[in-house]
Amino acid sequence: SAGKSLLNIINDILDFSKIEAGKMEIVTAPYKLSSLLNDLSNMILFKARAKGLDFKVDVDETIPDILNGDEKRVRQVMTNVLNNAVKYTDKGSVWLSVGIGRGGRSEGVPIDLVIVVRDTGIGIREADLGKLFFKFERVDLEHNSTVEGTGLGLAITKNLLDLMGGHIKVESVYGEG
């Protein structure tokens, strides 16, 4: 477990270094959304159950299964956000919703994949929202001192989304998730 944690930290640092150096490449190729979501859901379900949390998934069935994008980076973004939701939730639930934003639903028409993660976690103070996407920044340390992390996950997530033409938005109520 300690070795896995150390490897994750090293990989995060390497990813952020690549991003800062302008060397992070987005590799676009076809991938199966169902396979990505199945793998991700199984991993998060295991972590959620270990904490006694419910994990719910809702996927718009009209989303094409074969998408074109960087599967590795899409997976990394979703994993970072979902891991944070589980990490900062002690009771209740974590929900993953996958839908389509702008764009068409017919073959060959670009779409925006919309990923929404909700939790019943500790929430974030409004004053701390602006700090979330800065490297090595961790918020509310008095309540989060026992939570492992480097403060790189959301910074990497934001940068990856920028590279892929996406964005991230956070809405939170402190104490509610």
Q: What is the pLDDT of residues 141-165, one digit of tens each?
A: 555 555 565 667 888 899 999 999 9
Question: Taking the model in full, what pTM does it have?
Answer: 0.84
- Round to whole Å and give the CA distance between 16 and 24: 9
**E strand spans, 25-92:** 29-32, 54-59, 66-69
Q: What is the pLDDT of residues 27-71, one digit of tens each?
A: 999 999 999 999 999 999 999 999 999 999 999 998 999 999 999
